[in-house]
Structure 1
């Protein structure tokens, strides 16, 4: 049961409302962008708006950005009863007050959690009509806390990967870099929370499926100690490694979600006796300045050294150094043979086929009741074909190789515990991913993610920084058994020490309930010593996709006199590197559409890009004009 650490019921007045959530006339103007659970709950308690209003505000953002604009594709389906749920919570609030900080707050749930009245497809075309009769344990706990189940999110098919592709929904895009994957298998939840489609969300983690998407979306995500929260009602991948857990934009929101979803469940033997390890409230237990004096091990082997990994390693090393400046003592540690132990201790390939069949046996009328039938009928995504066929090979759930894997799981658990004891460590630190999120369609390495599932130890993903091209990087802290409070406290210290959370640029604030309109501009670039070489540039920029349409008109001039017309960044008074070549024809008109990446889009909106003209007469640069789009 959640302790009542929520705002007390009070006289409803708009005085407690922030400007973004104040009423305008008779209609509330709701800005839910980046709003925390505590922000929203305070405004709900003050009567600034209702939960019905709140649901509608999130639905507006989903309408604007999920299948339009940047087309994030994070929402699989919306719960048709969401507004009804909200109305019921509003009535209860008026009559008896709020149940908890989650009362009337919309939450999104990964599609491998059972939600009564909605299909549980696990991202699979084969399971699109599978409809459970009751909620998963964690979903039920959210409802008991007063949360509104807004809908279900996309996921990597049957949780069998870390890029978020599926036969039912296709690909989900990373809102920080639309050409990159969001991570998986909880990528839909992470992307949705990152772009404020809900206040927070539920994911599951078998081999990185909470922590990787959290890292890729600049979120905090927690994989709890195995058995801290129930697996009941979660479509299984590997029962010995599966856990469910929260993703959020702030540590306080993560703690609120954890308070609501942990606990003992008679339907899951792994949770037996776990109540003795759960505090009265993780939220109330949050403390600052806990990094001071903490001993944190640095796993050097987990830092990549390939060309595509060096930048990520440097960002996480810099973050670790910042933690030491907050008082943490960093100790370089070694886990002998850890790469082989992680590889050999994974139980997914041994358990998946049989766990899936057991789960599906309870349902009638499905197109397929086993992994073999899914493969035979082609009801899976092409990118999953090879891995599914490999995982369909075991003929028995009890084999020599399975027993070997379980032994290796025990071995790696003892090794990590021994090293943490020897060095008196509170946590171990390393990058969540050694490189950036892969481009959609390409393979995503994720070797670091197996340490927590193999040991059963809790791990939290925290924002570490951004690459030069604006892609989030995450660091992971692995703790001792049931040390979630310690990890949350470290995370809070880290969060409060700097601006760690930066929202994605492709899904900005709505304007009158809709995505902001395109921006446009016109400029004329003319060298002082070559007036005949004038070029008029007209452009239209979509701030939600980075698509830039450019048309130019060049005066009477010899084509050979123009070398290039470019879009470039600036470095003070000096030009930065070339980003794009703009079209030009002499004399005449030309047009082109280009797509700005997130960091270039951000620079464009700040007025930090310039159009440069290079000519035969002035090859070092004949003229430059600021690129400054404005509302159209």
Structure 2
């Protein structure tokens, strides 16, 4: 769930290791495969699709089949994005049921008949939950994750699972963003030799390439925000505790959360309204009902920026000259909308890095064991997983190792005083003494930053030239963040990031929606093989 700065590459042998039995319907036309920008439902919002279905112009079966064909055309063939790791064999059956419910006047909710893709660390029957690892490729949990139950209760059709950085990018310090042994390497749809970031790589690419109406990702530190930003879509990381983590392969109970990745702020608001809520199986959600509005869509109104006080973090302008230009344009837009914009800084940036890694390694070891044992997985501990990877080194360890696994296995329990002190310290530094201090110092509604820089080239010869990140403080504090397209660099998307205090999703949506409506900065991907004049990737 963490977007570690990572080496990225394309390896033909390992890219062939796509899940067996997960092939998309072989109905792709040659013309559609040759023209991936052509799609009947391209850029359609959830509201637009619902309006067409309510008018009788469209039904869920037709829409679901269209997305399945789209996956066959450009994910499995065409530019071969490798964003979808497996399909739900019951997707068409679910769509037919949603159509019957609608016809009978018993529509379930705002997602009635809407096809959704989930990151493949989220349990959803009858599919496997692999986390991208061959160790779990045949592991099928017996019940849905809590958030999947919520989606289905609201009428969603679960279309399938999206590829991810294996184990949510927490296997190795030099891991490959968007690569998993099960799913291969996901590719950025704007420029195919560029990286999709991670760990919710497939979710970000699938949303951008119109492979589903919307997708769900997860984040520990950047794994929603980074892939959303570099793939030109909206990503919303909620406050930890707003969305249940029950039924999600964990890294950190302190920082993990699921959240929507969509093409518009409005669609993110719809998904968040459905996903948010208290779950007895996740104690962190105890206060969700007290802090979450019933409907985040109510905050989708023009003029949300008027009168707001926004703090801009200018250190993020150093992510590159095109990022700086885009951020200057964003600041001008905020001011033109009636917001007061002042320079701001999070005073404690960089002070939590070492402690954060200690906390994540400790919580990963203990949380993973709990998930594996309570879900009757084929493995029951991190140590067994390390052994599996050693036994299958050719497939699993050919591109990078498992040093984070090995370091995590050596950590103590959750009662270790060193861990407890570190956890308390990083939450304080990033939250009350970090984001909250910056907001209070100048009476701000939110902070804005560049989310990250443009996508880097996928190349086996180099470490990730990671351009920087604006999302770390919100991730460590457990606070919400929202990224929205704001421009591009050589055709590669750039995202602006809005951050606030705990439970401020409604205000961020209000601000972000107004910004999005004024800029309309998202442009659909063009599936270019490479950038003109770019050197060839190393072999």
* Same fold flag (TM > 0.5): yes
**Residue among 481, 490, 506 paired with 1:485:** 506
List 4+ stretches of structure 1 deviating above 6 A: none
Q: Aligned equivalents of 1:60 and 1:178: distance in 2?
A: 20
Q: 1:338 aligns with which of 336, 343, 349?
A: 349
**Aligned partners of 1:342 and 1:412 also within 8 Å:** no
Displacement after TM superposition at 1:315 (Å): 1.9
User: Would you say the 8 A contact 2:269–2:509 is kept in 1?
Assistant: yes
Q: Which residue of 2 aligns with 1:204?
A: 218
Q: From the superposition, tell whether residues 84 and 63 of structure 1 become closer, same or farther in structure 2 (CA, over 3 Å).
A: same
1:55 aligns with 2:64: yes
Distance 1:338 1:579 in 2: 37
What's the secondary structure of 1:252's corresponding residue?
Answer: helix
Q: Which one scores higher on RCO, CA 8 angstroms, separation ≥ 6?
A: 2
Q: Post-superposition shift, 1:64?
A: 0.4
Conserved? CA contact 1:163–1:444, under 8 Å: no
Alignment size in residue pairs: 483
Counterpart of 2:7?
none
1:482 Cα deviation (Å)? 1.2
SS state at 1:354 partner: helix
Q: Secondary structure at the match of 1:448?
A: coil
After superposition, residues 455-466 of structure 1 pair within 5 angstroms as 455-466=477-488
Any residues of structure 2 matched to 1:128-167 within 5 Å, and which?
128-160=137-169, 163-167=177-181
* SS at structure 2 position matched to 1:348: helix
> Could you say if the C-alpha distance between residues 580 and 331 of structure 1 is closer, same or farther in structure 2, counting changes exceeding 3 Å?
closer
CA distance in 1, matches of 2:339, 2:354: 31
The question of whether the paired residues in 2 share the 8 Å contact of 1:30 and 1:54 is answered with no
1:431 corresponds to: 450
- Identify, as 1 or 2, the structure richer in strand: 1
1:448 matches 2:462? no
Q: Give the aligned partner of residue 519 of structure 1.
A: none
For residues 459 and 101 of structure 2, the distance between their equivalents in structure 1, rounded to whole angstroms, comes to 45
CA change 1:483–1:114 in 2 (3 A) is same
Higher-Rg member (1/2): 1
Task: Identify the residue that residue 312 of structure 2 maps to in structure 1.
Answer: 298
Q: Is the 8 A contact 2:169 2:177 kept in 1?
A: no
Q: Summarize the Cα distance change of 1:393–1:300 in structure 2 as closer, same or farther, 3 Å threshold.
A: farther
Per-residue displacement from partner, 1:536-565 (whole Å, max 9, x unpaired)?
xxxxxxxxx649xxxxxxxxxxxxxxxxxx
Q: In the alignment, what sits opposite 2:100?
A: 91
Name the counterpart of 2:14.
none
Which residue number corresponds to residue 192 of structure 2? 178
Match of 2:362 among 323, 340, 350: 350
Q: What residue number does 1:626 align with?
A: none
Residue of structure 2 in register with 1:569 after alignment: none
Shift of 1:239: 1.0
Structure 1, residues 455-490: CA drift from partner, whole Å, max 9, x if none? 1111001112100x2111111110122111111111
| Larger relative helix fraction | 2
User: Paired residue for 2:438?
Assistant: 419
CA distance in structure 1 between the partners assigned to 2:130 and 2:417 by the alignment: 32
Q: What is the distance in 1 between the residues matched to 2:223 and 2:232?
A: 15
Question: What secondary structure sits across from 2:177 in the alignment?
Answer: coil
Which residue of 365, 369, 382 maps to 1:371? 382
1:102 aligns with 2:116: no
Cα distance, 1:279 vs structure 2:
1.5
Give how far 1:73 is off. 0.2
1:409 is aligned to: 427
1:221-253 Cα deviation digits (max 9, x unpaired): 101111111111111011111011101101111
Per-residue deviation at 1:285? Answer: 2.9
> Match of 1:471?
492
How many Å separate the matches in 1 of 2:401 and 2:109? Answer: 41
Deviation at 1:98, TM superposition (A): 2.7
* 8 Å Cα contact 2:430/2:474 also seen in 1: no
Alignment RMSD (CA, Å): 2.3
Map Cα deviations across residues 332-374 of structure 1 (whole Å, 9 max, x no partner): 12333411234534531221112111111134462x4322222
Residue ranges of structure 1 left out of the alignment (5+ in a row): 1-28, 507-544, 548-577, 582-593, 596-632
Give the secondary-structure state (helix, strand or coil) at the position aligned to 2:258: strand
Change (3 A) 1:114 1:580: closer
Q: Which structure 2 residues correspond to residues 138-287 of structure 1 after superposition, within 5 A?
A: 138-160=147-169, 163-287=177-301
- Structure 1 residue 437: Cα displacement: 3.6
Deviation (angstroms), 1:434: 4.3
> Structure 2 regions of 5+ residues with no counterpart?
1-37, 171-175
Distance 1:363 1:480, change over 3 A: closer
Cα distance, 1:212 vs. partner? Answer: 0.6
